[in-house]
C-alpha cells in the first residue's frame, strides 16, 4: 500500500541571532522522500553556513542514491574549516523513506530520533558503523500508517538548562511530554510546532541553543477537491460539477455563485449560516453532500495568509486551527486534514463581483499562490482550469 509521507519542521533561533544554526532540507525523487536535519557548530552566521552546506550536500546526494560513505567524504571535503577550532563540524540526521514506509534513518551526533506509534513513544534500534572516522548510526525503517518519527537537534535536550531544568530536558521527560501532547490526528508540522513550543517555554522565550524539530509522519491518503468559480461556458456546468463530485475524498465549494451552481446540479439547496465567528470573513453555507461551503475571494485570501504563517518554520504556535470561521475551517481542511488537493477553478467572469474591486485574475493569482504553498507543505496538488 502506498502512503503519503508527511513532513514538517519548526526551528527556534539562539537568542540574539537572526539566523538559525540548524537547517532542514527535503527532496523528493520518484516515490522516495529524503529529509535532512543538520546542526552547524556554534550559532549564528557560521553555524548557518555549515548547516546549510551540509544539508544541501547530503540531501542532494542521498536522494540521488549515492552511498553514505561517498556523501560523508564529500561533506568533509566541502565544509569550511573554523580558524579558531580548526575543525569543520555539522551533525546530521537523514531520513530516506518511500511511499511504503520503508527506508533508513542515518544519524551522526544528533540526539537519537523517537518513534511515535499507537500513543506510545519509543527509541529505535540502531546499528553503529564507522564512516570516514565518524560514528554513524543506521536504523532500518518499516513504518505503518500514523507512525511518526521525531528528529531533533540537541537544542531540544538543552531546553531549560540553568533555567527551569538543572540538567536540561532529559529524554524520559521528552518522551512523556510527546506521549501526552501529540494527538492521533496531528500533522507532522503540528507535532513539530508542539514540541518546539514547549522547548521555547522551558527556555523562557530565550533559547540558549538553536532548536529544531523535524517530524516525518506516515499517513493514508486523504484527498480533498475544491470548487472555485464557475466555468467559462454555462453549458459546461453540469459536466464540471459531475467531474468534481466524482473525485474521491472531501469536497469544498468556495464562492456564492459556485455554491449555487453546485447546489443546482445536485438538486439541493444552499443554506446560509447566520453566525459570524470572524467579522472580516463572510459566514459559511451548507449544501447536502458537500463537506464545506464558504464565500470566495475574501475567504481564499485569508487562507493564503494563514498558509504563509503555517509554513513559517519560526512559528511555533500550536497548529490547532480551531476557530469556526470559513477561512479557518478551509485552512484546517487543506493544511491538516488533507494530503492531496485538487482545485477546480472556473475562469468565467463572475457578475456577482460587478462594481467590486475583485477581478477574475485576482482569484486565479490567489489560487496559484495557495497551490504553491500547499506544495511547499508537501501536499500533492493539481489545479484544473475551465
Cβ neighbours, 10 Å, residue 167: 10
What was the pLDDT predicted at 131? 84
DSSP code for 82 = P
pLDDT exceeds 60 at position 352 = no
Lowest mean pLDDT among 26-30, 51-55, 74-78, 255-259: 74-78
Q: What is the mean pLDDT of the chain?
A: 90
Alpha carbon distance 3, 339 (integer Å): 10
Alpha carbon distance 299, 253 (integer Å): 11
pLDDT exceeds 70 at position 87 = no
Alpha carbon distance 243, 341 (integer Å): 15
Alpha carbon distance 241, 259 (integer Å): 11
What was the pLDDT predicted at 132? 79
> pLDDT (tens digit, 9 = 90+) per residue, 142-192?
999 999 999 999 999 999 876 666 567 899 999 999 999 999 999 999 999
Please report, for residues 57, 105, 146, the alpha-carbon distance to residue 142 in angstroms, rounded to integers and kept in the order given.
25, 11, 12
What was the pLDDT predicted at 353? 54
> pLDDT (tens digit, 9 = 90+) per residue, 287-342?
999 999 999 999 999 999 999 999 999 888 877 778 899 999 999 999 999 999 99
- Model confidence band, residue 355 (pLDDT cutoffs 50, 70, 90): low
* Pairing of the two strands 22-29 and 32-40: antiparallel
What was the pLDDT predicted at 88? 62
**SS3 label, residue 258:** helix
Q: Are 301 and 326 in contact (CB under 8 A)?
A: no
Amino acid at each position: 500500500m502506498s502512503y503519503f509521507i508527511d513532513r514538517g519542521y519548526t526551528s527556534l533561533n539562539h537568542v540574539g541571532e537572526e539566523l538559525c544554526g540548524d537547517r532542514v532540507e527535503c527532496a523528493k525523487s520518484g516515490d522516495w522522500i529524503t529529509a535532512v536535519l543538520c546542526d552547524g557548530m556554534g550559532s549564528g552566521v557560521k553555524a548557518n553556513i555549515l548547516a546549510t552546506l551540509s544539508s544541501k550536500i547530503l540531501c542532494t546526494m542521498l536522494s540521488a542514491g549515492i552511498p553514505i560513505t561517498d556523501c560523508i567524504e564529500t561533506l568533509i571535503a566541502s565544509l569550511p574549516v573554523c580558524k579558531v577550532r580548526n575543525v569543520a563540524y555539522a551533525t546530521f540526521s537523514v531520513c530516506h523513506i518511500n511511499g511504503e514506509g520503508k527506508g533508513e534513518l542515518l544519524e551522526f551526533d544528533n540526539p537519537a530520533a523517537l518513534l511515535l506509534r499507537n500513543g506510545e513513544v519509543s527509541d529505535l534500534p540502531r546499528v553503529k558503523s564507522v564512516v570516514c572516522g565518524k560514528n554513524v548510526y543506521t536504523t532500518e525503517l518499516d513504518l505503518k500508517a500514523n507512525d511518526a518519527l521525531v528528529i531533533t537537534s540537541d537544542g531540544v535536550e538543552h531546553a531549560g538548562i540553568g533555567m527551569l531544568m538543572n540538567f536540561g530536558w532529559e529524554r524520559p521527560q521528552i518522551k512523556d511530554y510527546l506521549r501526552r501532547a501529540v494527538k492521533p490526528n496531528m500533522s507532522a508540522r503540528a507535532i513539530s510546532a508542539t514540541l518546539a513550543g514547549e522547548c521555547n517555554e522551558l527556555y523562557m522565550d530565550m533559547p540558549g541553543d538553536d532548536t529544531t524539530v523535524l517530524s516525518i509522519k506516515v499517513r493514508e491518503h486523504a484527498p480533498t477537491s475544491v470548487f472555485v468559480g464557475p466555468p467559462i461556458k454555462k453549458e459546461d456546468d453540469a459536466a464540471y460539477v459531475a467531474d468534481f463530485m466524482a473525485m474521491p475524498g472531501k469536497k469544498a465549494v468556495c464562492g456564492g455563485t459556485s455554491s449555487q451552481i453546485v447546489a443546482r446540479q445536485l438538486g439541493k439547496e444552499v443554506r446560509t449560516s447566520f453566525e459570524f465567528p470572524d467579522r472580516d470573513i463572510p459566514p459559511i453555507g451548507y449544501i447536502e453532500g458537500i463537506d464545506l461551503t464558504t464565500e470566495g475571494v475574501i475567504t481564499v485570501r485569508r487562507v493564503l495568509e494563514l498558509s504563509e504563517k503555517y509554513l513559517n518554520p519560526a512559528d511555533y504556535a500550536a497548529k490547532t486551527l480551531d476557530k469556526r470561521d470559513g477561512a479557518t475551517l478551509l485552512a484546517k481542511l487543506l493544511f491538516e486534514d488533507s494530503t492531496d488537493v485538487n482545485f477546480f477553478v472556473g475562469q468565467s467572469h463572475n457578475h456577482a463581483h460587478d462594481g467590486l474591486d475583485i477581478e477574475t485574475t485576482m482569484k486565479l493569482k490567489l489560487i496559484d499562490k495557495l497551490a504553491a504553498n500547499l506544495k511547499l507543505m508537501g501536499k500533492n496538488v493539481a489545479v484544473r482550469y475551465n
